[in-house]
Structure 1
Amino acid sequence: MSRDTREWAWEYSASRGNARLVLLSIADRIPDEQCVAWASLTSLMRRTNASRNAVRAALTALAESGELEVLADLVGPQHSTVYRLPRAAAWLAKIVAARTADPEEYVEPPAETDPAPELDVERLRRHGIWPRTGSESDPPRQDLTGSESAPPRQNLTPAPVGIRPPSGSESAPQNRSEPKVNRKYSSRSAAGLTSAADWQIDDASLSWAQQQGHLTRLGEHGLQAADAKWRHHRAAWSPRPASTWAADWRSWIAREHSPTPQRRNLYALPGGTPAPQAGMTRADAHMAALLAAVDKRTGTE
């Protein structure tokens, strides 16, 4: 489940800098869809390689943005602070609700108005998170820093705790029975993706090739041959947004070698056949260029 939460943090969180590192560190500890985890200030400092003040400032910024919530009425092992990612919990609940009837249904991106489900405190006990006892010797904390009352090098687990990472590592999820991620929940399955073969060169990319001098350097046939080679080498890639293909295509064209006297015609077909005859369709021209690219590599692969 921590992978689902990390995916939300990578794709939808507005945090930046140290705040993003702290958010990802907490998301990495999430054991289930409630998006609740415990962490101490010391552990967050060690995992983010940031100073105490930087981590405190990051926690404050995340709380003010609404992406992080401090559960003051709960406590983790060694009196550590308990955090919740309410927007991540709302996103996961939204996915489950939308796809109960149709697993392939497209789910709209998360919104700030999406409600987070209520907590099931009893389920949190299995992860070492318990309600505060209200003891006078353990007053409730109002800051976001976590407790440091326990020796920093101890790795002791209180008796009620049922699950802890066996090696003491803090990078592993707190739930060792964490299920594999169902990639159908990923937002990458949304509409708007296309394959390299189906992607059409947009006007902006053509203008870029002309303004940067690549059309003059390669020539019209050379540019078409480079385009065909690019499509051949990207055929096995998974579908991506059109903007991603455009950026990758430009990078390929910028690296493409200019025609040389020894290889004047980048559009030549295998066996010495000259340039394609007039009247060829665009698909035939692409196929001719592709065959030439496979027969004579340019070294840009």
Structure 2
Amino acid sequence: MSLDAMDWVWTRSTAKGTARMVLLAIADKCPDDACTAYAGTTMLVQRTNAARSSVVAAVDKLLDGGELRVVEGSKGPRGETVYHLPRAVGHVRSMPEDIRFRGLESGPVQNPDRSENRPPEGRETGPEGYGNRTPTGPESGPQNAYERKHQAEQQQARATRSALIPELGPLDGALATAGIPVRWSLGLGEQRDVWRLVQAHGVEALVARAATRTTPGAEPKPARYWLRVWGDLDRAPAARPGPATAAPYTDNLAAGLALLHAQKEGNP
């Protein structure tokens, strides 16, 4: 699920009531930061615990408000509608306080009164006693460990990528509309390469090329894959000589043979 997409709903969405619950249910289904997910009405009814008519009305309201969009031409594995949360794209949730302080656990604790790198039993040091505390109880359970691992992976991925340059916004939007979600994990130089291809061939050509390599409902491909695919547009095959090129040579050969035959006929 995309925790960033859910955080956007909690902190930025203007939806209320059932519409807000429907938007949260769809955001919870987003597999990555492309903020695209399939969701059927039956599933939304089960997750929101609302009447079917209320869910349908909520989806219509979200579509009218622009916080939700249907990805045309794409369907889920059982024919579900594929939705896109356009305003949640690029949203990054703020780092929780426990993550900011967790860096203190990575080094030894300076404690001149003890040789061990831990405080005396019953005492806790660091900001609000958190820095040197060994997690116990519910926070040390497998769910909490998974949450910490997921957060660390997302933060590491963001640290190695550049924000999408504004020039690629139309391409990103056209790809999303065509049902081709892209993981934009590119450096600035690679994004400039994509922009050069857009200038050389146009957005429609890049989207058309990507559509030939996309299966409805497939997992989003990384932008580096599409950069290689689009690079083929610069390597169009050279034109081969056709019949028009060979025709003058054939005509001259036939004329020469005819002249030779006429000379033989005139000089027996």
Fold conserved (TM > 0.5)? Answer: no
Task: Decide which structure has greater helix share.
Answer: 2
TM-score by length of 1: 0.33
Asked which structure has the greater CA Rg, the reply is 2
